[in-house]
Amino acid sequence: MKNPSFTNLRKFLFPGTLLLLIICAALPGQEAWVGFDLAVIPLILGGGFIAWSTLVAMIETRKITAGLLIVFALIGTTFVGEYLAGAIVAFMMVGGEFLEDITLERTRSAVRELVQLSPDTAWVKRDGEYISVSVEEVSLGEKVLVKPGERVPVDGTIAAGEAVINEASITGESLPVEKSSGAKVFAGTINLSGAIEVQTEKTGSQTTLGKIIKVVYEAQESKGSTQRTADRFARYFTPIILAICALVWIAEQDLMRVMAVLVIACPCALVLATPTAVVASIGNGAKRGVLIKGGITLETAGQVTAICLDKTGTLTTGRPQVVEIQPFASYTPDEVLSAAVLAEKHSEHPLAQAVMREAEGRKLSLQEDPQEFKSVFGCGVQCLHKGARIEVGNRRILEKLTDSDAARGFLDSQEEKGRTALLVLVNGEVIGGISIADTLREQAVKAVEEIKESGVKRIIILTGDNEKVARSISRQVGIKEFKANLLPEEKLEFIRSLQKEGEIVAMVGDGINDAPALALADVGIAMGAAGTDVAIESADMALMADDLRMVPFTLGLSRKALQIIKQNIWFFAVCVNIAGITLATSGLLSPIAAAVVHNGASFLVVLNSARMLTFKFRGINGGQLWTQA
């Protein structure tokens, strides 16, 4: 890989040489020393470079490019004998391009940095020994050893060992994750401690990192609607400027004014206005685990007026948890839970798994096995243990009870909160109730507030759950609008209805179950996409981390990018060009001054866009949502 510093030095030599020759040409009496005007040399060198670049661009694009205006200006200054002025104009154009290249290279660093994350070699187990081979030589199914301090070379599953993995390069999460046998690991992540043996499942471009690199590269090369409009405008701009120059010549007969118009009118700032901001924004997002599929997606996300949030797995963890245990009579919560564990131990129902996890969390004994386990469809489970019959069930179990006021009150209160309530019975007596719910993500409330602050007018929860559950979740997160009992096709109909009302709709889901809704929305945002090919390939934006806070970050990034694009176009491109052309036609702007203004505007466009590289969305009360550089 080429050293960027050496490349920049080599690029600097040409404009540096031109500058040195121009300084010598400006010395008094230099023409008498060398026998000719020394300014001719930098004029020929710089002008020749510009003419050749313009010719190549015109042949490749088969269009008249704006660089032709500069070529005409240099020819004009040469024709009237203003060699020094022409040389300075040529230097300003070449030097300006050099400075733009350096700054643009910084905005395009995202792909290069991602590529550098992947190691070149891997320790592969062959014939019972670990040998170092090129990553390209690793085959699917082979076992790879990852030592402490090394980057994981492939996507796969840990076959042996334990490690602490830094996954910031994939998910954007700064905190390392402890992983052991059976856990997934991704290429490009760093093993901070512990040695692990990884069963290879994906290599090279098929890894999650490989797909991220592909998406980021294609996104940076794609054009947004604003950029396409600018390109179309630039196509017709050259003939219009040539016509203006003809009118200036007819009216004033002043060739220097015409040259000044040609130099200032070159629409470089306009052409750079959108792509530089898009590239910088996509690069910023990629470093934080946000994949943005190009300029159109970025611009559309910057205009979102309504956002639909899937409930399960997006606002909630998607994993039922015990949220309350209510003992009756003289029983304790642990006694109620212990009885429930015996009945649920052999059940595979998600609610049973929630009960078992709660028992593990409380460090209750799980060693005893029940007898005569039985699952009663639509009601619950029951078993025998040391002669006692234990039952765990839903509201239908009330039919067996004579005194059920307390139990009924518990069921009513919990169901009103949108929770699933279970009763625990021992020999027909209700000893307590257990409430289970799909709990909110830790960051859900603040994330919703951040989304509101980002400028989104409507936030709607879409769920297939019942109305009580939807209402409960909406109250907890502070969202007023929700739609419950929705089938997948009904989610699509609701999104269509929003679009018919003129809303620009974003849909946030898990990328698999919500794939149709993500595709229909103006902007589909898939959460937790790391290792999920469907999410990376189908969504307009993919959040590699399972972190809801990245939704307001992404919307804020998009809105800021759109703001930067508008600043670039209207201030640095349009206003500067109009003012410059006006001054040039009235004789107040020389060709040299026009070159300074022209390159200054283009350079400021690139610098303004480069601000997106360091964008950090600031949340409520100025708190910073994302702090990792």
Residues belonging to the active site = 310
Helix (H) or strand (E) holding 498: helix 488-500
**Burial call 342-369: b when 16+ CB within 10 Å, e when fewer:** bbbbebeeebbebbbebbeeeeeeeeee
Taking the C-alpha atoms of residue 528 and residue 546, their distance in angstroms, rounded to an integer, is 4
**Three-state SS annotation for 335-397:** HHHHHHHHHHCCCCCHHHHHHHHHHHHCCCCCCCCCEEEEEECCCEEEEEECCEEEEEECHHH
- DSSP string covering 47-73: HHHHHHHHHHHHHHHTS--THHHHHHH
Helix (H) or strand (E) holding 505: strand 505-509
* Cα separation values, 271 from 232, 333, 510, 593, 606, Å: 10, 68, 37, 21, 11
Closest CA to 430 of 418, 440, 441, 421: 421
The token duo for 398 is: 């009330």
Is there a contact between 523 and 301 (Cβ–Cβ < 8 Å)?
A: yes
Instruction: For 340, list phi and psi in degrees, rounded to 5.
Output: -65, -35
Taking the C-alpha atoms of residue 553 and residue 539, their distance in angstroms, rounded to an integer, is 17
Taking the C-alpha atoms of residue 141 and residue 478, their distance in angstroms, rounded to an integer, is 48
Taking the C-alpha atoms of residue 452 and residue 620, their distance in angstroms, rounded to an integer, is 10
| CA quadruple 541, 545, 546, 547: dihedral, nearest 10 | -90
Count of Cβ atoms closer than 10 Å to residue 166 Cβ: 17
The token duo for 220 is: 């940076």
268-287 and 576-585 helices cross at what angle (nearest 10)? Answer: 160
Is there a contact between 539 and 523 (Cβ–Cβ < 8 Å)?
A: no
Taking the C-alpha atoms of residue 340 and residue 331, their distance in angstroms, rounded to an integer, is 13
The SS3 of residue 150 is coil
Is there a contact between 101 and 116 (Cβ–Cβ < 8 Å)?
A: no
* Cα separation values, 313 from 86, 310, 370, 516, Å: 64, 7, 33, 16
Taking the C-alpha atoms of residue 379 and residue 391, their distance in angstroms, rounded to an integer, is 10
* Cα separation values, 185 from 123, 155, 469, 490, 545, Å: 16, 6, 35, 37, 14
Is there a contact between 17 and 98 (Cβ–Cβ < 8 Å)?
A: no
